Amino acid sequence: MENVSKISRLVYTWVVLFALWMAFTTSLALDEVLVGLAISFVVAAMTFSYFTQIGLKAFSPKKIMYQIQYLIIFIVALVKANFHVAKIVLTPSLPINPGIVEFETKLNSDIAKMILANSITLTPGTFTVDVIENRFYVHWLEVETEDSEKVYKAIAESFEKILLKIYE
Amino acid sequence: METILNYLGYFFVSIGAVFLVLGAFGILRMPDFYTRIQAGTKSSTLGAMSFIFGVGLLEPAWFIKTLVIVVFIAISNPISSHALARGAYKSHHQPYLKDGVDAYKEVENQKEVKL
């Protein structure tokens, strides 16, 4: 992870920021594109060390496949989560058993942990209260178990498998 | 083609509105702060995402910009809910626990001993 060159990380940040610029301006006029290239380069030079740790490797076909797979799993989980909450809210007896559980993640990269925490927040019945080192503290609407292995299997495994392939 | 886009747009806007209403209902019904965040974050995220995506389909010129907004909501909403929950816990707001499962308590107690 540490051996990714600075140039690769800089170029990756530049490409992403320039794509964002193009999305906002939605114009192919030469002067706007040139200004966009310049500004996104300056911002990329200032922020690439926070922005990415794997650099251009993120664009390799394999990793793009995993990113698309992650996106699909994530959207399915998000829709499921909403129906889950809707079902609980519309049940007159309000069937909840809330509690805060913890589990350990195998991820090392900060960005990957952030994505995992965000995904947990948007999946059925759970949201991340805090992340300390590699321990996640998760508020769960229907606590089934306290055992951190089982919690990990129930909450995080499906996301983490893919994140490990993208970021490690 | 345009009518199909219109119908799709109205479909996503209505789905978003329904989930936003359900989210508001959830905030009313849940027993404590943390469970209210649960209901609020999920439905407001999907509700707002779907609503804005639908607007993008109704106005194709805005489509790419609405996509950027959708991605931004997906990233920023969970972070705000995490910050709220963590802040509430740090200021000793006790969660409602049915079975008393609270793994985070130990961490907080250890910190107080160290201080």
pLDDT in tens, A15-47: 989 998 888 888 788 888 999 999 999 998 888
In this predicted structure, the answer to whether residue A1 has a pLDDT above a threshold of 70 is: no
CA distance B65 to chain A (A): 6
Please tell me the distance from the alpha carbon of residue A150 to that of residue B115, in angstroms, as a whole number. Answer: 33
**H helices of chain A, where?**
6-25, 30-51, 61-90, 110-121, 148-155, 157-167
The residue among A158 and B100 whose pLDDT is bigger is A158
CB within 8 Å of chain B, chain A residues 140-159: 141, 143, 146
Which pLDDT value is given to residue B52? 93
Name the residue among A100, A101, A97, A103 with its Cα closest to residue A141. A97
Q: Which residue of B has its CA nearest to A76?
A: B46
Residue reference for tokens 């509690």 = A99
Grouping H, G, I as helix, E, B as strand and the rest as coil, residue A150 is helix
Amino acid at B83: A
Which pLDDT value is given to residue A41? 92
Computed from CA positions of residues B12, B14, B15, B16, in that sequence, does the dihedral angle turn out positive or negative?
positive
Which residues in chain B show pLDDT less than 70?
Answer: 100, 111-115
Residues of A in contact with B65 (CB under 8 A): 23-24, 26
Grouping H, G, I as helix, E, B as strand and the rest as coil, residue A75 is helix
A7 touches B at CB < 8 Å: no
Helix (H) / strand (E) element for A139: namely strand A135-140
Return the domain boundaries, chain A: 6-58, 60-167
Mutation target to probe the A interface, by most A beta carbons within 10 A, among B27, B82, B86 is B82
In this predicted structure, the answer to whether residue A85 has a pLDDT above a threshold of 70 is: yes
Which pLDDT value is given to residue B112? 60
Residue reference for tokens 């345009």 = B2
Residues of B in contact with A99 (CB under 8 A): 95, 97-102
The residue among B113 and A151 whose pLDDT is bigger is A151
Which pLDDT value is given to residue A2? 54
Please tell me the distance from the alpha carbon of residue B34 to that of residue B56, in angstroms, as a whole number. Answer: 33
Q: Span A10-14, mean pLDDT? A: 88
Which pLDDT value is given to residue B51? 93
Would you tell me how many other CB atoms lie within 10 Å of the CB of residue A110?
A: 12
Dihedral through CA B68, CA B71, CA B72, CA B76, nearest 10? Answer: 180
Is B67's CB within 8 Å of A23's CB? yes
Please tell me the distance from the alpha carbon of residue A141 to that of residue A138, in angstroms, as a whole number. Answer: 10
Is A81's CB within 8 Å of B42's CB? yes
Residue in A20, A97, A129 closest to B85 by CB: A129
| HEC sequence for chain B | CHHHHHHHHHHHHHHHHHHHHHHHHHHHHCCCHHHHHHHHHHHHHHHHHHHHHHHHHHCHHHHHHHHHHHHHHHHHHHHHHHHHHHHHHHCCCCCCCCCCCECHHHHHHHHHHHC
Residues of B in contact with A137 (CB under 8 A): 103-104, 107
Is B104's CB within 8 Å of A24's CB? no
Is A129's CB within 8 Å of B82's CB? yes
In this predicted structure, the answer to whether residue A144 has a pLDDT above a threshold of 90 is: no
Predicted TM-score (pTM) of the model is: 0.82
Name the residue among B64, B21, B65 with its Cα closest to residue B39. B21
Is A130's CB within 8 Å of B104's CB? yes
Please tell me the distance from the alpha carbon of residue B38 to that of residue B46, in angstroms, as a whole number. Answer: 13
Grouping H, G, I as helix, E, B as strand and the rest as coil, residue A137 is strand
Which pLDDT value is given to residue B11? 93
A121 touches B at CB < 8 Å: yes
